[in-house]
Structure 1
Amino acid sequence: MRCLEGHFQASRTPGKRDGDWHTTLRKLRHDAEMVTWLEKEGLAKTEVKKLFRGIYHAARPKHSETPDKVFEVSFAEQTDDRTLWQQANNKAVFIDPSGQEVPTRTLRAKGAALKGLEESFASSGRLVAVKVLTERALRLLRRFLQASTFYFYPRSGHHLLALLEDGLASPLLAQIVDGLRNALPATLGAHTLTGIRAWKADNSPLGKGSVATRPELAESSVDSAVKVLLWVVSGTALNGSATTALELRRRDEEGSGSQAVANIKYAANRAVIWGQELEAVWTGPGWESGFLQRGIHLLFTFGWSDAACAALALLAFLVILSAAVSAVTALDQEAEGDCLPDDCGANCSLSLLQRRQRQSVSHDGTLRGQRFKLLKRFNLSQDPKEEWDVIAIPDANLTQSCANYVDDNSTVFSRGKDLVLRVASACADGKCLNSGRIMSKEAFKFGVFSFTVKVPKCNWLWPALWLLPGNTHGEGEYGGWPCSGEIDVLETVHDESNGAFNVVSGFGSTADFASSCASTNSTSCSCTTGYCTSSTMSCGPDGCSTADKYFVEDVDCPKVLHEHHHGHHHEEIHPSWKEHTFVLSWQDGELVTWVDPTLSIDEAGDLVSITPKPDGNISARKHQTRDPLSGLPLPNNGVAAPSWKAYRRSTTPKWQAVEPFMSSCFDEATSAAPFDQAFKLVLNIAIGGYGGAACHWGDESCSTACGGAVGSEMVVSDISVWQRTPTTTAATATTTTTITTMPM
């Protein structure tokens, strides 16, 4: 992800690197048409359109006979036109936001409907799938490929080529890849994605009368195990018959000529898939005139062919033999593991695009190479009910804590610029404590969420910062809790120095750890039989450990209370952590939480990186060597947990185990379900109720053993939400050019 993003930002974003002064007439014609269309759409400046059209018409007389010959565009001096050309030529002037979309469902047909096609592929090495994508996915993909300026490379056959590292990589394509692999497990499931390329054809007068208008499909996929060619432009754009547009040929190993085995008709939303024994050759006609009529061939390659694996194995052996391992290791460390080619074999690593979408946070906990716009900063000084629902509900049927959540202005209120949640009083019968709980009126899907807050401690408190879908009961798109999911940014209890980061969902009973389910007959997830529920995803067959913990701050409740009483203080004491900032990054297939990281904000106010603070230190409380919830030993005899934790679907078995239930019950569920729906923010203070606590709901222990919690407060000074911005950088020059507009 970062390698692709870094290469893209450094090479193609306006304002990065010096200008590229070289082009060809064929590429210049395309770029002039494109910025003209973008200008009509309101997506590019008029000055950009005038510049490209003017340069094209100035160059056409000299280069019309050799439209593919590279030439240099020169300017006599440092003019506005020269500056604008530096910003726009061979740059990503516009990347359409549709590429950032992640439809809940991309493929029209389910895996069962494609089983027959997979059987055909197994016997013949090829298959053709019609109407592959849903209408929305097709519309988004077509727009992304037509409207984005990332076709930088003139290729033989009068085409321009776009590569992943120059802006083609996108969440939309990653989602389509996931859909293809899930729908065709026997054909694609064993192979990682190794590349994506997009060719755009020339249908201008420069392309008329061309002998060959073929994209390099065979040459570009010779090393891959399986190829998927997808068409998005309507067949009406062809200027001839679509019947035999693509020919599949059996690859000849001995040089005696390839043999045609199938002719494929062209149609939009059609996928042609073939194996390493075959090659594809475009034999169709050209394309009607008009910018949006330019044909586009989108080619996905999966896995490595047997020959490629053998060649890579030989290369690896030679590298080792030549003692170049250290250089390779240095490169790997510099790129943090994302830049080297994938390995061959059954355990092939994720391709660059898959890493790009699935693992945006590096192994050291740093998030960078992305940009997040501030979407919302909650106004905490106003009446909380403007932006929050104050929840009134007893905790009797939730967690059995002593908290009786009330809405009477005593448990939730603003104080100056802060939002305050308070354990206000004991209930009349002494068997519960009146406390505060709120849920945001607005829901969010993906983004970076930061909470700056003083969290109360001791007195068996259980404060939390978390996210829930739907309503306060967690009843969302996929059913009641826990099937629709829960994200706990921070949970901490009593005298713990750590915070817990939990990811909660139901999961299938066929998992190895199904015996840890709370119920084998869950009514909230009753779409399918034998479905059971789970709590924390960090808990496996051996129970819960410190796997979900991150260090915040030491607190010693007995010591604080002892010093307080011996100092002859008579006022109530309510210990708390100092103010800390808790940050959640929630992206598709990945959730990461930090405590007190460094947030880097650029001049535009965008969040551009998150860097974790150094890991926690040795706990000052030498006596605490066991986790208070599980009773398991703390690592290193009391060493505090790290300052950040991550869950990724690819490495979280309980998250993966949700998929069979989701796919069988919900057509729109993605592989990231249930964390593919909008969630609301929740803050609350519970008291007791957890394992090992001194009090629980409906018992006088609430006001005796836990009565010291009355008066405890959670004080919140900031809650902000950022969301990832589309990679959109329109070239904007404040100066005016003198190029005269000419008709094409």
Structure 2
Amino acid sequence: MTTTDTGSLRQTTRALLEAGHQSEAFALWSGADFSDDDLGWLSEQTGELMRSTDLTLAGEFAHLLASIRRGSRWFPVQSADGATRPVNRFITIHKLRHDIEQFTYLLESGILGGEFGAVVQAYADTADRLLEAGVDPDQHVPFDEQAEAAIGDVFNRIVTLQPAPRLPRALSASWNGREVTERYLASRAGLVVVDDFLSPAALDAVRRFCLGSTVWFGNRYANGRLGAFFHDGFNCPLLLQVAEELRGTLPQVLGPYPLRQLWGFKNKDYLPGDTTTHADFAAVNVNFWITPSEANLDESSGGLIVYGVDAPPDWNFHMYNGRQDLIKPFLAQRKAEAVRIPYRANRAIIFNSDLFHATAEVRFRPGYENRRVNITMLYGERADDVHHPSLSRQATPNQLPYRPAWRSNALARRRAGR
């Protein structure tokens, strides 16, 4: 493709997506001899549009990018040679087991056709082969020729995306934005809990999207945790509506910041406690849970641990996001106090993203629909946080909303029978 052709492809793509002609944009790329630089341009456009708060158009660009990079013969946007762009892949047995459960769920729901019975069997055969070779379920192994022949056309590719369109209202009317803002600002460390976060219709639609969409590609995590990311298909109009409504409902908390990232994580039935301690790059983190509370076997756990200590300003992302060997001694040295927020379905935690935090011990019922799913929206950059500019300080118990002070007013009223 010449420079002129590349410019034409990009210009036409932008015009089509701005006009809402998604299928025409897909057809354009399906017949184009595009390059990796062109895919990089799609990613850059997505980021720029998120920073400009045009989330609708950002979603269209991200959707096109995911379709090209992760497409399949069931969900096609293909290059001129008839193949989607290859992605780096490795296998874990945990990931294979999740996909077996998801494909079985989709088969039983009538979303996928009978041909996927053979796909499930191919996944099971691949898992058995790895187990017989002595592979640990958490171990990452290369995507070898046998795997390519058996499941190469489906593994870590989009087979189906379940629709989750915009609704008249995504956030629940049971909580008050002004009250939540006051509680967030009154917490000097920056932490507030909101129950009944989404409207019933929105919660149901988001659940169906997460259950049915084959976008859980991130399998680099321990203990069978899987991630799904905005640029790789974890993207639907309803989730973007939630992000927009939040900024409008909490203008003092989120208004100064654009949405910078959106992802979901899914767990198997058990996760050891406090093994994921980290901070994030953003100014404010919104984390909410969508799996029914009945799936949780320990109502005192399964949620989030938030420490009253910020990531040091001179630590880079790799250090404060993943280096447990640095984070744990640092928290011990600071005698970090923590608030433990138990799991409840449709509960959101809005907090200063610089605070170290971790998933509490997870003990959920077995079964695909019982897997714990959390969704995270990150707003702004940590350096731009106007409410908590002082990094790496110990928040005293009076500064953290300790139990029962963190409880939302909605929950308190419900428990009082009001």
TM-score normalised by L of structure 2 = 0.64
In the TM superposition, residue 146 of structure 1 has moved relative to its aligned partner by 1.6
Change (3 A) 1:29 1:73: farther
1:136 equivalent in structure 2: 201
Q: Aligned pair 1:238/2:296, yes or no?
A: yes
1:146 aligns with 2:223: no
Cα deviation, 1:38-78, whole Å, max 9, x if unaligned, reads 111122232222222222223222245353222334239xx
Gaps of 5+ in 2: 1-57, 74-83, 313-329, 387-418
Contact residue 272 and residue 362 of structure 2 kept, 8 A: no
**Which of 49, 52, 69 is the aligned partner of 2:140?**
69
**1:560-611 CA-partner distances (Å, limit 9, x unpaired):** xxxxxxxxxxxxxxxxxxxxxxxxxxxxxxxxxxxxxxxxxxxxxxxxxxxx
Determine the structure 2 residue equivalent to 1:306.
383
Aligned to 2:287: 229
- Name the structure 1 match of 2:169: 105
Q: Note if 1:169 corresponds to 2:235.
A: yes
Amino acid at match of 2:132: P
Kindly name which structure, 1 or 2, has the bigger radius of gyration based on alpha carbons: 1
Could you tell me whether the CA contact under 8 Å between 2:305 and 2:360 is conserved in 1? yes
Alignment deviations for residues 129-172 of structure 1 (CA, whole Å, 9 cap, x no partner): 11011100000001111211111111134301111011111111
Alignment partner of 1:294 out of 368, 371, 396: 371
CA displacement at 1:233 relative to structure 2: 0.4
Out of 348, 351, 356, the position equivalent to 1:274 is 351
**What is the distance in 2 between the residues matched to 1:277 and 1:30?**
31
> Measured at CA, do residues 20 and 303 of structure 1 come closer, stay the same or move farther in structure 2, by a change above 3 Å?
closer
- Shift of the alpha carbon at 1:195? 0.4
Give 2:367's aligned amino acid.
Answer: G
Distance in 2, Cα, partners of 1:42 & 1:243:
35
> Kindly, what percent of the aligned residue pairs are identical?
23
* CA positional deviation for 1:18: 4.5
Distance of 1:201 and 1:143 partners within structure 2: 16
Counterpart in the other structure of 1:684 = none
**Aligned residue in 2 for 1:40:** 108
Q: Secondary structure at the residue paired with 1:136?
A: helix
| Corresponding residue number in structure 1 for 2:179 | 116
- 1:260 corresponds to 2:260: no
Contact 1:4–1:165 (8 Å) recurs in 2 = yes
| Alpha-carbon distance between aligned partners in 1 of 2:104 and 2:302, rounded to the nearest angstrom | 33
**Which of 19, 24, 49 in structure 1 is aligned with 2:92?**
24
Amino acid of the structure 2 residue aligned with 1:5: H
Q: How does 1:463-474 map to 2 (within 5 A)?
A: none
How many corresponding residue pairs? 293
| Structure 1: distance between partners of 2:381 and 2:88 | 34
Distance 1:74 1:172 in 2: 39
Distance 1:43 1:149, change over 3 A: same
Does 1:9 pair with 2:9? no
Structure 1: which 5+ runs fail to align? 310-744
- Provide the C-alpha distance between the structure 1 equivalents of 2:209 and 2:216, rounded to a whole number of angstroms: 12
Q: Distance in 2 between matches of 1:273 and 1:279?
A: 13
SS at match of 1:8: helix
Task: Tell me, in whole angstroms, the C-alpha distance in 2 between the residues paired with 1:291 and 1:52.
Answer: 16
Paired position in structure 2 for 1:94: 160
Structure 1 pair 258/10, CA: closer, same or farther in 2 (3 Å)?
farther
Change in Cα spacing, 1:253 to 1:303, as seen in structure 2 (3 Å) is closer
C-alpha RMSD of the superposition: 2.7
- Contact conserved, 1:92 with 1:149, CA < 8 A, in 2? yes
Cα distance in structure 1, aligned partners of 2:216 and 2:223: 15
| Letter paired with 1:152 | F
Matches of 2:123 and 2:344 in 1, distance apart? 33
Q: Which amino acid aligns with 1:28?
A: L
Q: Is the 8 A contact 2:160 2:214 kept in 1?
A: yes
TM-superposition CA deviations, 1:337-361 (whole Å, max 9, x none): xxxxxxxxxxxxxxxxxxxxxxxxx
Q: Does 1:248 align with 2:306?
A: yes
Looking at structure 1, the residues matched to 246 and 385 of structure 2 have their Cα atoms a distance apart, in angstroms, of: 23
Report SS of the residue matched to 2:193: strand
Q: In 1, distance between residues paired with 2:236 and 2:335?
A: 36
Helix, strand or coil at the partner of 1:180: helix
Q: Is the 8 A contact 1:229 1:298 kept in 2?
A: yes
The letter for the 2-side match of 1:140 is A
Deviation at 1:307, TM superposition (A): 7.4
Q: Does 1:181 align with 2:247?
A: yes
Alignment CA distance shift 1:143-1:258 (3 Å): farther
Is 2:167–2:238's contact at 8 Å kept on the other side of the alignment?
yes
| Contact kept? 1:228, 1:300, Cα under 8 Å | yes
Asked whether the 8 Å contact 2:268–2:371 carries over to 1, the reply is yes
Tell me, yes or no, if the aligned pair for 2:302 and 2:362 is still in contact at 8 Å: no
Aligned residues of 1:242 and 1:267 also touching (Cα < 8 A): no
Q: Secondary structure at the match of 2:211?
A: helix
Structure in which a larger fraction of residues adopt helix: 2
Displacement of 1:244: 7.2
8 Å Cα contact 1:248/1:280 also seen in 2: yes
Q: Which residue of 2 aligns with 1:193?
A: 259
Equivalent residues in 2 for 1:436-515, closer than 5 Å: none
Q: Which residue type is aligned with residue 195 of structure 1? A: Q
User: SS of the counterpart of 1:274?
Assistant: strand
Report SS of the residue matched to 1:109: coil
Pair 1:253–1:298, CA change in 2 (3 A): closer
User: Do the aligned partners of residues 244 and 201 (structure 1) sit closer, same or farther apart at CA in structure 2, a change above 3 Å counting?
Assistant: closer
TM-score scaled to structure 1, two decimals?
Answer: 0.37
Partners of 1:197 and 1:264 lie apart in 2 by 20
| Counterparts of 2:309 and 2:384, CA distance in 1 | 13
SS of the residue aligned with 1:108?
coil
2: CA distance, partners of 1:28 / 1:12: 17
How much does 1:239 deviate?
A: 2.7
Given residue 269 of structure 1, which amino acid in structure 2 is its aligned partner?
Answer: N
Q: Structure 1 CA distance, aligned partners of 2:243 and 2:87?
A: 34
Q: CA deviation at 1:249?
A: 0.9
